[in-house]
Amino acid sequence: MNKQSFLSILAAAIIIASCGNKDDKAAQAGGPPQIKEYKTLTLQPESATLYTDYPASIQGQQNIEIRPRVEGYIEKIYVDEGAVVKAGQPLFKINAPEYEQQVRTASASIKSAQAAVSTAKLAVNKVKPLVEKEIISKYELESAQYNYESAMATLAQANAALVNARVNLGYTTVTSPVNGVVGSIPFRLGSLVSSNNAEALTTVSSIGNVYAYFAMNEKALLNFTQSAGSLAQKIKDFPQVSLLLSDGSTYEEKGRIETVNGLINTETGTVNIRARFPNPRGVIRSGSSTTVRIPKEVKEGLIIPQSATFELQDKMFAVTVGKDGKTKNTNITILDSKAGNYYVVTSGLQAGDQIVLEGVATLKDGTQIKPQNQNAETVYADLK
């Protein structure tokens, strides 16, 4: 490197250092702060559907305990736990040979009774012409007829005994009374069972329709019951409700509220409500934990994104921007129900107010910002 080149590089370095020192001094002297840009929105009335979620438990339309009618040992188990069964489908076979013996005994008794009836009828037919010819007295005919009637009664008793024996024998095959799903089976092959067992053989849940039970607080119940009309009419006019499954997905069938318990639980301050949902494909099982989602239509309300709010000391705030570009933290109140990721404001804001959409928790009163007003359709894209 020659002397002239070295001097040129040295001069450039001195100039750069000098500029840096000037910039540092300007910053230390308190130059004008940089005004940040923030996305904002001018509020206008909007319409939306709000949703309130309630944890719910599912029960089948019928949960039927299957119990044996006769005593005996379990010989066969035709189904497994969780199996879908039809009404009349065999579930268990109970080994009770005494009932088979009763059928054979009753059948034999019928044959004996039929023979007795035939004999008594022959006696009547034999005595009757003799009485008509006054060869023997009427007493003989009456006695023969009584014997015939007695034989007929014995035959009827034998028939009844056979029917009863067959019914008892039929009880050795335990069938499902309804279409449904088999629950747990606590007994195994060879277990001795009877109608006196504390545990049922199993439970069959009819799940063609399922009931979702959930609790509504007293305030929400009051809002529901204050409208005009009878409770039955309010329930009838209530919009269809949705069901959220345990994986967060929405169940394909809509349901309807059917009953509202007349008593408020004094310990929890809630009232139990039942909603019915069709379950044609058996997707929902009894005992499932789900969520009932109740819709509510809001027309011409002030709706803001959750990102435009922050909480401080149990109060909700939004940040408004004045015409001078300075911010102000504004205390707001909102409805308990949400419209997705949006709140409905009931007080604190009004149409025409400009609010900051993001980063509001770090903004202090009087902060100068550069508003970047956003299109309402873009802001509410998820709401429509």
HEC letters along 128-182: HHHHHCCCCCHHHHHHHHHHHHHHHHHHHHHHHHHHHHHHHHHCCEEECCCCEEE
CA pair distance 49, 342, nearest whole angstrom? 10
Mean pLDDT score of the chain: 84
State the average pLDDT over residues 260-265. Answer: 79
Record the pTM.
Answer: 0.59
Going by pLDDT thresholds of 50, 70 and 90, the confidence category of residue 12 is very low
Going by pLDDT thresholds of 50, 70 and 90, the confidence category of residue 302 is very high
Amino acid letter, residue 380: Y
CA distances from 182 to 79, 186, 203, 205 (A): 8, 12, 6, 7
Closest CA to 51 of 345, 257, 336: 336
pLDDT surpasses 60 at 211: yes
CATH superfamily of 53-60+205-297: Efflux pump adaptor protein, beta barrel domain (2.40.30.170)
Name the 3-class secondary structure at 26.
helix
Contacts of residue 253, defined as CB under 8 A and 6 or more positions apart, other chains included, come to 243, 277, 278, 279, 280
Per-residue pLDDT tens over the stretch 312-328:
888 999 999 999 999 99
CA pair distance 163, 316, nearest whole angstrom? 76
> What's the CATH architecture for 36-49+298-379?
Beta Barrel (2.40)
Amino acid letter, residue 323: K
Which CATH number, 2.30.29.30, 3.30.230.10, 1.10.287.470, 2.40.170.20, labels domain 97-171? 1.10.287.470
Strands (E), 43-88: 46-66, 72-77, 84-85
The reported pLDDT for the residue numbered 228 is 64
The reported pLDDT for the residue numbered 7 is 44
The reported pLDDT for the residue numbered 30 is 52
User: Any idea where the domains of the chain sit in the sequence?
Assistant: 36-49+298-379, 53-60+205-297, 68-92+176-199, 97-171
Going by pLDDT thresholds of 50, 70 and 90, the confidence category of residue 296 is confident
CA pair distance 360, 12, nearest whole angstrom? 45
Give me the DSSP letters along 213-239. Answer: EEEEEHHHHHHHHSSSS-HHHHHHHSP
The reported pLDDT for the residue numbered 14 is 45
Per-residue pLDDT tens over the stretch 43-98:
999 888 888 889 999 988 778 899 999 899 999 999 999 888 998 999 999 998 88
CA pair distance 237, 228, nearest whole angstrom? 11
pLDDT surpasses 80 at 118: yes
Going by pLDDT thresholds of 50, 70 and 90, the confidence category of residue 180 is confident
State the average pLDDT over residues 365-376. Answer: 91
State the average pLDDT over residues 344-369. Answer: 92
pLDDT surpasses 60 at 266: yes
The answer to whether the beta carbons of residues 208 and 61 sit under 8 Å apart is: yes
The H or E element that residue 223 is part of is helix 218-225
| Residue % of the chain over a pLDDT of 70 | 90
pLDDT surpasses 90 at 219: no
pLDDT surpasses 60 at 245: yes
State the average pLDDT over residues 130-134. Answer: 73
The reported pLDDT for the residue numbered 29 is 47
The reported pLDDT for the residue numbered 221 is 79
The reported pLDDT for the residue numbered 384 is 59
Give the orientation angle of helix 97-132 with respect to helix 138-170, to 10 degrees: 160
The reported pLDDT for the residue numbered 268 is 81
The answer to whether the beta carbons of residues 281 and 252 sit under 8 Å apart is: no
Closest CA to 347 of 316, 305, 306: 316
The terminus-to-terminus CA distance of the chain in angstroms comes to 71
pLDDT surpasses 90 at 351: yes
